[in-house]
Structure 1
């Protein structure tokens, strides 16, 4: 089996605070005299029930981590470390999602917060050999007018270059807010050429995904995994070319599925859906990008050829330039064309010889 960390891929579903390394969180908490909940630093991945109480616990932990990000230096550190970690896992493209309102009080407002992330994304791209794009996300927990403000801000920095804003999202508890009320914000973002990438279809089922499809007209759906429960809806997603950002680790962590084998990844892929595997919030769920591909391999029996197609799907679904996509797709082909280490091991076991070099 080929090394999944060497498989070129794109990472399209990673949250800013949720990307944080545990040692980084510990450092920041110590600097500000913050006492962290044990669940954030015990290296034991969250396992929560898919209920409002489960989400409340998740949100409380996320907020505790976010409260430790209090300066421009902290924000830059998160972007650089996220880029470094992704590059080490074979990601050639990262689109990191951030709600700037969370950090605005510490850096002089939402505009400076966005500019810090953009500038850090450009610097991290150059330093770590990975293209980093930015997604500005609004929260369902806040007023839809706040989402319009963020959409206008995202539109101001829209572009397809390294470090620029490439998409507009909507995150937080799917059970909150009226989806239709966020439609105008997505209209603003769409007119600016931004990808529409709202969350949907993890805690709620097909009806909610249909509402997101109708009201927000997404290019990608964050999660969308429960489209597998409705053949008609899944066919519509495929026909419209809407990509699904599937995050098996967080699906398990939030109790949507009890085991990795229950995540309907095979169903989605077999239906022809464009899939981009993502890690969502590694800080809380304890799994990074390569772990998602490992789940596909071990829990769902994906061959290396199928894994290469998953990686290619993530690249196609990204907002990378056509030249970057072509380069990464060629690298995926090269990964698959390389000798399988298992073949070499088999030759040695049979008494054959293997030439290296």
Structure 2
């Protein structure tokens, strides 16, 4: 089994239909019309958000969030993942009636449980949401910088790329950077290549979430490669959300051939009928990547991970072991 690592996953969007159905039963909610035959149902971006918000609303307590993280990471480990970073949202915590501290602590507990079971390493990236406004994003950055949870190692901005401007978020990223957090930002999904350029100009991230629309500007692709910025690419999500019409049109192979550092990720996996395992299978089937090339993608992710050097070294040493040396689901 190819060992895998994930850098781009929204934890509320990682809840499986089975787990959401169990939570709905717990809180006396009907899953119709959002889940049918064990699968999420949506038809466009509006109904996708409706299904997402319905499911997210079913995680309300610290134990709910601990269970969510444990459930997702344990499943990843079964598919050969040894590392995962997921995005958290203080705004979801407040909506659920929890403090950001309690929410983060609960997710950290879930990571710890999964690690005890599987050896899986996990970290959290606190995110602000673009369409919630600049002040909300700066508040998220202040929380990320001050919470001192050992598993909070990064800060990012997600949400509707068409809202606001990258220069509006400079202060938020300065707060996070000054606290020693890794920096990533969503750009180049719906926002076009210009959003990637603006991210590089104003935010100076080490990683960009998605970034695939950069392919529209060859000079920008060269800049990404030259600066060593890592792209957190989510191929199945891009197809399901119609960022690209087919895998034949997807720029992953062209970005990689141009020297860009690329990784494979699942975004909001059950909503896009995918898993991290499937993302690697898509790369093998549609992008003609062999085992050694896929392992190289995992290596890129670990090298770009927001972890201390001791943890990075331990993860890389696992990657370098002969396959038979890896025991258990990790």
TM-score, structure 1 as length reference: 0.85
| Residue in 2 that maps onto 1:267 | 254
Q: 1:302 and 1:111, CA in 2 relative to 1: closer, same or farther beyond 3 A?
A: same
Equivalent residues, number: 325
Q: Is residue 92 of structure 1 aligned with residue 82 of structure 2?
A: yes
Conserved 8 A contact 1:171-1:199: yes
Instruction: Give the one of 270, 276, 287 matched to 1:283.
Output: 270
How far apart in 2 are the matches of 1:37 and 1:239?
49
Q: Which moved more, 1:141-150 or 1:320-329?
A: 320-329
| Residue in 2 that maps onto 1:323 | 310
Give me the CA root mean square deviation: 2.1
Q: 1:171-210 counterparts in 2 under 5 A?
A: 171-210=158-197
How far apart in 2 are the matches of 1:204 and 1:165?
27
Conserved 8 A contact 2:3-2:82: yes
| Residue in 2 that maps onto 1:30 | 25
| Residue in 2 that maps onto 1:121 | 111
Conserved 8 A contact 2:42-2:48: no
Query: Alignment partner of 2:260: what SS?
Result: coil
Query: Alignment partner of 1:132: what SS?
Result: strand
Q: 1:158 and 1:90, CA in 2 relative to 1: closer, same or farther beyond 3 A?
A: farther
Q: Deviations over 1:180-207 (max 9, x none)?
A: 2111111100111111111110112111
Q: Which runs of 5+ in 2 are unaligned?
A: 326-330
Conserved 8 A contact 1:304-1:336: no
How far apart in 1 are the matches of 2:98 and 2:26?
20
Q: Give the C-alpha shift of residue 329 in structure 1.
A: 2.9
Q: Which moved more, 1:289-298 or 1:94-103?
A: 94-103
Q: Is residue 239 of structure 1 aligned with residue 229 of structure 2?
A: no
Q: Deviations over 1:239-268 (max 9, x none)?
A: 212110000111011011122232111111
| Residue in 2 that maps onto 1:40 | 35
Q: 1:46 and 1:197, CA in 2 relative to 1: closer, same or farther beyond 3 A?
A: farther
| Residue in 2 that maps onto 1:9 | 4
Q: 1:44 and 1:107, CA in 2 relative to 1: closer, same or farther beyond 3 A?
A: closer
How far apart in 2 are the matches of 1:73 and 1:190?
31
How far apart in 2 are the matches of 1:324 and 1:336?
20
Q: Which has the larger radius of gyration?
A: 1
Q: Give the C-alpha shift of residue 44 in structure 1.
A: 5.3
Q: Give the C-alpha shift of residue 43 in structure 1.
A: 4.9
TM-score, structure 2 as length reference: 0.92
Q: Which runs of 5+ in 1 are unaligned?
A: 1-5, 49-53, 339-357
Q: Give the C-alpha shift of residue 47 in structure 1.
A: 7.6
Q: Which moved more, 1:173-182 or 1:106-115?
A: 106-115
Instruction: Give the one of 42, 47, 60 matched to 2:50.
Output: 60
| Residue in 2 that maps onto 1:71 | 61
Conserved 8 A contact 1:9-1:328: no
Q: Which moved more, 1:150-159 or 1:220-229?
A: 150-159
Q: Is residue 228 of structure 1 aligned with residue 215 of structure 2?
A: yes
Q: Give the C-alpha shift of residue 107 in structure 1.
A: 4.7
Q: 1:24 and 1:273, CA in 2 relative to 1: closer, same or farther beyond 3 A?
A: same
| Residue in 2 that maps onto 1:142 | 132
| Residue in 1 that maps onto 2:328 | none
